[in-house]
């Protein structure tokens, strides 16, 4: 693939911002400390201003506060990080497979394929599946019976979409993801567990990204729902009947137990855990490693992880925590004694 080259004036015409200095051409993006003359870099965090002075980049993207901090050709942008992301998308278009069905792929006769669909080597498309226009199914991916894929969606190698699930338009499902496996539904029968049929689906909206090896379980009776624009990192577990609101972003290794509802425009840090059957309202931000054990009804930032400490100090503090209940009772007794003396 030939590199794309673009002039700064073209970027400003497309994305806005103010051009200062020469109208140079760039062909790639790079960090400040690794950039060369053919690259455009960006400054979003003031602590990297020293790198701005030393960079060998051909051009930079800077905030208004740093417009005079360099003599390099530069674009002054309100949000340099977002501007860089748009430039990077322009210079690095997604790789595509050619349209058509590879000879080694298996496509059911009852499946319906839209225009310019690409089905890669050893991929499988099941009975009555509906594949929208421009969909890319990469090698080894499995599209189950009755699955619907919206236009422009990409299913990367070895991802599996179980029967009956629906994925909207322009979604990205990365390698190893499993969409629609059985939820963990079991009833105790006295001597052993009795498996409950999981007859719901997973329904994913438009513009959703699902990271590598992330699993989203199908609903027990109703559906598991991922709304438009949600972004899911790698190795996330979303259990049956969960709802993830629109434009919510969830980092890697998060575990969400069944029937949990997370609202729109939320963020969840890595390795956070959610108990089941709770609701989190819109615009909540959960810190990494937090345990969300109850519903959250007020927008804001929440954390629930124990601060890191040296081992010996942590053990001492843990020993004190075990006795907090007894200590609280002693404090109440002392308060009563003091109040009795005052009277």
Residues in the chain: 343
Q: What is the pLDDT of residues 272-306, one digit of tens each?
A: 999 999 999 999 999 999 999 999 999 999 998 77
What are the φ/ψ torsions at residue 54 (nearest 5 degrees)? -100, -5
List Cα–Cα distances, 79 to 3, 22, 45, 64, 264, in angstroms. 25, 21, 11, 9, 22
Residue 145: Cβ-neighbour burial (10 angstroms; 0-12, 13-18, 19+): middle
For residue 100, what are the β-bridge partners?
A: 118
Q: What is the pLDDT of residue 342?
A: 74
Q: Say if residue 314's pLDDT is above 90.
A: no
Average pLDDT over all residues of the chain: 96
Helix (H, G, I), strand (E, B) or coil at 106: strand
pLDDT band at residue 2 under the 50/70/90 scheme: low
Residues 6+ apart with CB under 8 A from 263: 245, 248, 279, 280, 281, 282, 283, 284
Regarding beta strands 18-20 and 74-76, do their DSSP bridges make them parallel or antiparallel, or are they unpaired?
antiparallel
The residue-averaged pLDDT of 34-57 equals 96
Q: For the ranges 4-18, 123-137, 312-326, which has the lowest average pLDDT?
A: 312-326
Q: Say if residue 260's pLDDT is above 60.
A: yes
Question: Which residue matches tokens 């972003």?
Answer: 249
Nearest to 108 by CA among 82, 93, 130: 130
Q: What is the pLDDT of residue 3?
A: 64
Q: What is the pLDDT of residue 305?
A: 78
Give the burial string for 105-119 (b: 16+ CB within 10 Å, else e): bebeeebebeeebbb
Annotated catalytic residue 240? yes
Q: What is the pLDDT of residues 58-74, one digit of tens each?
A: 999 999 999 999 999 99
The residue-averaged pLDDT of 110-123 equals 98
Catalytic, out of 36, 240, 277, 285: 240
Q: What is the pLDDT of residue 171?
A: 98
Q: What is the pLDDT of residue 304?
A: 86
Look at the pTM and tell me if it is higher than 0.95. Answer: no
CA distance 94 to 91: 10
């Amino acid at each position: 693939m030939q590199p794309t080259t673009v002039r700064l004036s073209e970027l400003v015409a497309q994305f806005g911002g103010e051009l200062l200095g020469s109208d140079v051409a760039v062909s790639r993006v790079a960090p400040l400390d690794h950039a060369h003359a053919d690259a455009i870099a960006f400054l979003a965090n003031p602590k990297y201003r020293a790198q701005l002075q030393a960079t060998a980049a051909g051009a930079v993207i800077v905030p208004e506060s740093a417009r005079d901090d360099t003599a390099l050709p530069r674009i002054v942008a309100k949000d340099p990080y977002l501007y860089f992301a748009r430039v990077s998308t322009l210079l690095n278009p997604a790789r595509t497979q050619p349209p058509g069905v590879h000879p080694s792929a298996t496509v059911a006769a009852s499946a319906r394929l839209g225009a310019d669909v690409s089905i890669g080597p050893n991929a499988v498309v099941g009975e009555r599946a509906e594949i929208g226009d421009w969909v890319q199914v990469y090698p080894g991916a499995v599209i189950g019976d009755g699955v619907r894929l919206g236009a422009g969606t990409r299913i990367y190698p070895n991802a599996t979409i179980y029967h009956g699930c629906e994925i909207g338009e322009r979604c990205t499902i990365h390698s190893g993801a499993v969409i629609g496996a059985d939820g963990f539904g079991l009833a105790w029968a006295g001597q052993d567990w009795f498996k409950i049929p999981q007859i719901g689906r997973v329904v994913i909206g438009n513009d959703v990204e699902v990271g590598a090896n992330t699993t989203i379980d199908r609903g027990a009776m109703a559906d598991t729902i991922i709304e438009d624009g949600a972004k899911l990192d790698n190795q996330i577990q979303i259990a049956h009947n969960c709802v993830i609101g629109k434009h919510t972003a969830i980092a890697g290794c998060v575990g969400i137990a069944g029937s949990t509802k997370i609202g729109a425009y939320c963020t969840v840090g890595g390795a956070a855990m959610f108990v089941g059957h709770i609701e989190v309202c819109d615009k909540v931000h959960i810190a990494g490693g937090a345990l969300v054990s109850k519903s959250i009804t007020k927008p804001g930032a929440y954390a629930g992880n124990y601060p890191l400490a040296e081992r010996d100090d942590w053990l001492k503090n843990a020993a004190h925590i075990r006795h907090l209940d007894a200590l609280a009772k002693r404090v109440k007794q002392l308060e009563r004694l003091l109040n009795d003396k005052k009277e």
